[in-house]
Structure 1
Amino acid sequence: MPIITLLESIHPAGVAALSEACELRQLTGPDDPGLAAALADSDAIIVRSTQIGAAILDHGPGLRVIGRHGAGTDNIDRQLAEARGIRIVNTPRSNTESVGEYTIAAIMQLFKRFAEVERALRGGSFTAAGGSLPGQVDRLGLIGRELAGAHLGLVGAGAIGQSVARRALALGMRVSAVDPWADPEALRSLGITPVADLETLLPTVDALSLHVPGDPERGPLIGEREFALLRPDAVLVNAARGGLVDEAALASALTEGRLAGAAVDVFSPEPPDPEAPLFSAPNLMLTPHMAAMTAEALERMAVDVARFTLEALSAGPAAGPAAAGAAAAGS
Structure 2
Amino acid sequence: MPLRCALLDDFQDVVATDLVDWSPIADQVEVVSFGTHFADEDALAAALAEFDIVVTLRERVPFPASLLARLPRLRLLIASGMRNSVIDYAAAEEHGVTVCGTASSSTPPVELTWALLLGLARGIVEESGALRSGGPWQSTVGVDLHGSRLGLLGLGKIGSRVAQVGLAFGMHVSAWSQNLTAERAEEVGVERAASKEELLASSDFVSVHLALSERTRGLLGAAELALLKPTAYLINTSRAAIVDQDALLAALHEGRIAGAGVDVFDVEPLPAGHPMRTAPRLLATPHLGYVSRANYRTYYGQAVENIQAYLAGSPLRQLP
TM-score (norm 1): 0.75
What's the counterpart of residue 117 of structure 2? 107
Conserved 8 A contact 1:52-1:75: yes
What's the counterpart of residue 56 of structure 2? 47
1:286 aligns with 2:284: yes
Conserved 8 A contact 2:49-2:73: no
Distance 1:197 1:88 in 2: 38
Distance 2:81 2:190 in 1: 26
Distance 1:193 1:97 in 2: 23
Deviation per CA, 1:34-69: give whole Å up to 9, x if none.
844443xxxx64322432223443335884x64212
Percent identical: 29
CA separation of 1:253 and 1:125: change in aligned 2, threshold 3 A: same
What's the counterpart of residue 16 of structure 1? 22
1:314 aligns with 2:319: no
What's the counterpart of residue 328 of structure 1? none
- Shift of the alpha carbon at 1:180? 3.2
Distance 1:251 1:62 in 2: 40
What's the counterpart of residue 26 of structure 1? 31
Aligned residues: CA RMSD: 3.6
Question: Structure 2 matches for 1:173-192, cutoff 5 A?
Answer: 173-182=171-180, 184-192=182-190
Distance 2:18 2:24 in 1: 10
CA separation of 1:55 and 1:209: change in aligned 2, threshold 3 A: same
- Shift of the alpha carbon at 1:232? 0.8
Deviation per CA, 1:133-181: give whole Å up to 9, x if none.
6xxx5xx6x2111111221112222222222222222222222222334
Counterpart selection for 1:73 from 84, 101, 108: 84
- AA at the equivalent of 1:113: G
Distance 1:317 1:237 in 2: 32
What's the counterpart of residue 273 of structure 2? 275
- Shift of the alpha carbon at 1:190? 1.7
How many aligned residue pairs are there? 300
Question: Structure 2 matches for 1:143-292, cutoff 5 A?
Answer: 143-182=141-180, 184-215=182-213, 219-292=217-290
Distance 2:99 2:146 in 1: 41
- Shift of the alpha carbon at 1:100? 0.6
For structure 1, which runs of at least 5 residues remain unmatched after alignment? 127-132, 324-331
- Shift of the alpha carbon at 1:71? 6.2
CA separation of 1:16 and 1:156: change in aligned 2, threshold 3 A: same
Distance 1:13 1:102 in 2: 21
What's the counterpart of residue 130 of structure 1? none
Give the secondary-structure state (helix, strand or coil) at the position aligned to 1:229: coil
Deviation per CA, 1:53-109: give whole Å up to 9, x if none.
23443335884x642124651332245346678665434632x11111110111111
Deviation per CA, 1:255-307: give whole Å up to 9, x if none.
22210011111111122244344333322112111122122221122224444
- Shift of the alpha carbon at 1:235? 0.3
Give the secondary-structure state (helix, strand or coil) at the position aligned to 2:223: helix
Distance 2:174 2:23 in 1: 40
Q: Which has the higher contact order (CA 8 A, sep 6+)?
A: 1
- Name the stretch that deviates more: 78-87 or 232-241: 78-87
What's the counterpart of residue 41 of structure 2? none
- Shift of the alpha carbon at 1:224? 0.7
- AA at the equivalent of 1:80: A
Give the secondary-structure state (helix, strand or coil) at the position aligned to 2:226: helix
CA separation of 1:225 and 1:317: change in aligned 2, threshold 3 A: closer
Question: Structure 2 matches for 1:113-124, cutoff 5 A?
Answer: 113-121=123-131
Conserved 8 A contact 1:27-1:35: no
Conserved 8 A contact 1:235-1:262: yes
Distance 2:73 2:182 in 1: 44
- AA at the equivalent of 1:54: A
TM-score (norm 2): 0.77
